[in-house]
Structure 1
Amino acid sequence: MAEFYHAITGWEIQYAEDEYAAVGMGDSSIYFGRVPERKPVEWPSPDKQFHFDFRVPDVEKAAEEYVALGATRPEFQPGITEEGTRWVVLQDPEGHLLCLCPETS
């Protein structure tokens, strides 16, 4: 998890071992702990555990890059309509949801 989030955020890996890791920058950190019995939620589902929204300059390009890093792109995409892409839903390598949203000015 730390390697994946380091790659997409550029944040430093502050700590890493098999059961626990952290990435961060300045006074912000994300900590990850392994929960062996955890099962990723199905998407779509009301059972979301958490999710991050990342603002990116090009949503589709970022989605391709994140998938190359180990994310998956679920078939259900509520942010993609006939009018265009408002956001893209991905699942990180452990199955947690994250959304890629266009940067706003």
Structure 2
Amino acid sequence: MNTTTHNTGTLDGSVLSHAIWADDGRRLAEFYAAALGNSVGEPYPDEHGNAVAYPVTVGNTAYIFYTSASFTAPDWPGQDLPFHMDLAVPDVAAAEKRLLELGATKPDFQPGGEHWTVLLDPSGQPVCISQAQPS
């Protein structure tokens, strides 16, 4: 019996990392590491040996926060977002307070009502926090 699998056009891939640009990758990595109860890993250098990319690993996925001199924060909510983070937390009020202490800001526009709170991370990119669902 032939057990060869036929290629159906799908891949058995998995997400290794997400790369997120900012004006200060280290600061953004430290912000998200604190938000996720983690630490910043060893930075990756550019072609000149300067540290420019800072990993924060959560489970099997790494978030790489990259310093880009040409980075411009999106004009949210005026612009559509190609990407943003959603964080589930056990206590939204406590998380909001801590993230604001870490450098986030809270915009007036809050489209989530009682479902989620939008903050802007230190790079000016939206991050939403919501109540974690019981497991």
TM-score class, shorter-chain normalisation, is 0.7 to 0.9
Decide which of 47, 72, 80 is 1:39's aligned counterpart. Answer: 72
Note if 1:22 corresponds to 2:55: yes
CA positional deviation for 1:70: 0.4
Written as runs of structure 1 = structure 2, the 5 A alignment for 1:86-97 is 86-97=115-126
SS at match of 2:76: coil
For the residues of structure 2 that align with 1:2 and 1:79, how far apart are their CA atoms?
25
Distance 1:18 1:71, change over 3 A: farther
TM-score, normalised on structure 2? 0.68
Distance 1:18 1:96, change over 3 A: farther
Residue-by-residue CA offset, 1:24-82 (whole Å, 9 max, x unaligned): 134211001112112111221333131111111221221111010001111100112xx
Equivalent AA in structure 2 for residue 38 of structure 1: F
Task: Show the counterpart of 1:12.
Answer: 39
CA positional deviation for 1:95: 1.1
- More off after superposition, 48-57 vs 8-17: 8-17
Report the structure number with the largest CA radius of gyration.
Answer: 2
Higher share of residues assigned strand:
1
* Aligned residue pairs, count: 101
- More off after superposition, 40-49 vs 29-38: 40-49
For the residues of structure 1 that align with 2:101 and 2:108, how far apart are their CA atoms?
17
Q: CA RMSD, aligned part only? A: 1.6
- Unaligned 5+ segments in structure 1 are none
- Unaligned 5+ segments in structure 2 are 1-27, 44-49
Distance 1:62 1:37, change over 3 A: same
* Identical-pair percentage: 36
